[in-house]
Structure 1
């Protein structure tokens, strides 16, 4: 009789340890702290200096810890060289708009292409079609990972606030942006929320940093404070305001700010 009773006791103990809690996870499991990335994923902190260059010959001499460069245009060797200099490297991709010059442009069905977004050769995507877009975006993120990038900057993430040719809603945008973030995280990449200020309260927990253009010009920089409060960097540029018009406020808000030209070449004037 001793052995069966002991076996029953052991089985009851195992069941108690593996009972699911209300969130579907084993009881007693402690969830990771909010805003803490999994081990191995980079987390840039507020105020981190950066360089953003998407055109021209890459200037690797800028003394900053973060470079944001085009994911298609640069090789794994370039990323590795920046790593040897102690830099983290962000992979720029467009995930909300189609670009006619990209090597995978023909893989996007014509039915997904909407109106132009104001840049030559670019058209908004129908982000509601996640069944078609998910594998296409995943392949682009695989490219970033294969080249050794630390993070991704997905661009055109606020189509619902623009004239895209599709009846996109805020809910459509939230679902799509979270999909992009999840796909990046599954590949060990940090991911930034590009613009999309209105949805920051809903998305700050899904993204590791923010990238913003012209929040000072339009009086919107304080809307980015949820990222800073969460210990996450806000990489910010202005194009038209002189640095004396925004740098003091940027330092107060702990933004990583600089003045750039619209072509996003090597030239920069940091705060």
Structure 2
């Protein structure tokens, strides 16, 4: 009887293994394709009527219902999260230890660069933010200020420090089944492209840097590009970017170019 019971249990386990493969609970994350149109809005009342395939909106200020409405309209939705700097108006601002808050971002009141070497402090905060994005139904995250090492942060950050931090951020997103975009950090594109699913860039035309993003397009990954000056809006068609012009306030205004 004992041998018969063991035989039955073994057979049942084999059936379950076939019926429920190990990766069944891990959904495939979104892979933004080259050439998608997009909209980015972080201020003002959200305008859901823009003819764009992808929306990039503030994760904390948006609601699950807004994300669902955009999905119902056939859009993919990206969750904007500040990863490399501190914003004093956010609900979780008190969770950032004083030791990780560096110099102010030039031109951005209430923001300070972060010591991205301190993952023990920053990792749990970002994990909670990304989990909120997931809970609201977002398809991807747009982590901002991923290039602190090339700015005057108040910390002796190196290129290696930045690579480590950026890859950790990408891993956090992927662990939740979310796609993740590399925001700016053009000097490290070649090294970071494999870890990211798309790129988000500000003003590469203005600074003659757009060619540095070609490693993304070369492997079929989207580049979502925004300029803030009308004369700088278009980029060569050969780059195959999604190009828009926005106001610096990132309100609903948008012009495709």
In the other structure, the counterpart of 1:184 is 173
Instruction: Structure 2: state its 5+ residue gaps.
Output: 1-25
Distance apart, 1:247 and its partner CA: 2.0
In the other structure, the counterpart of 1:239 is 228
Distance apart, 1:47 and its partner CA: 1.2
In the other structure, the counterpart of 2:51 is 63
Distance apart, 1:39 and its partner CA: 5.0
CA offsets per residue over residues 53-87 of structure 1, 9 Å max, x none? 00000000011110000000001011001100011
Tell me, in whole angstroms, the C-alpha distance in 2 between the residues paired with 1:210 and 1:257: 12
Distance apart, 1:122 and its partner CA: 0.3
Q: Does 1:216 align with 2:205?
A: yes
Tell me, in whole angstroms, the C-alpha distance in 2 between the residues paired with 1:157 and 1:98: 12
Q: Does 1:146 align with 2:132?
A: no
Matches within 5 A, 1:1-271: 39-118=27-106, 119-242=108-231, 245-249=232-236, 251-271=237-257
Tell me, in whole angstroms, the C-alpha distance in 1 between the residues paired with 2:192 and 2:127: 20
CA offsets per residue over residues 60-118 of structure 1, 9 Å max, x none? 00111100000000010110011000110000000000000000000111111000012
**The residue matched to 2:50 in structure 1 has which SS?**
coil
Tell me, in whole angstroms, the C-alpha distance in 2 between the residues paired with 1:230 and 1:108: 37
CA offsets per residue over residues 190-238 of structure 1, 9 Å max, x none? 0000000000000000000000000001111010000000110000011
CA offsets per residue over residues 122-176 of structure 1, 9 Å max, x none? 0000000011111111011001001000000000000000000000000000000
Taking structure 2 as the reference length, the TM-score comes to: 0.88
Tell me, in whole angstroms, the C-alpha distance in 1 between the residues paired with 2:176 and 2:238: 34
Task: Please identify runs of 4+ aligned residues in structure 1 that moved more than 6 A.
Answer: none
Taking structure 1 as the reference length, the TM-score comes to: 0.84
Structure exhibiting the larger radius of gyration computed from Cα positions: 1
Q: RMSD between aligned alpha carbons?
A: 1.0
Aligned length: 231
Instruction: Structure 1: state its 5+ residue gaps.
Output: 1-37
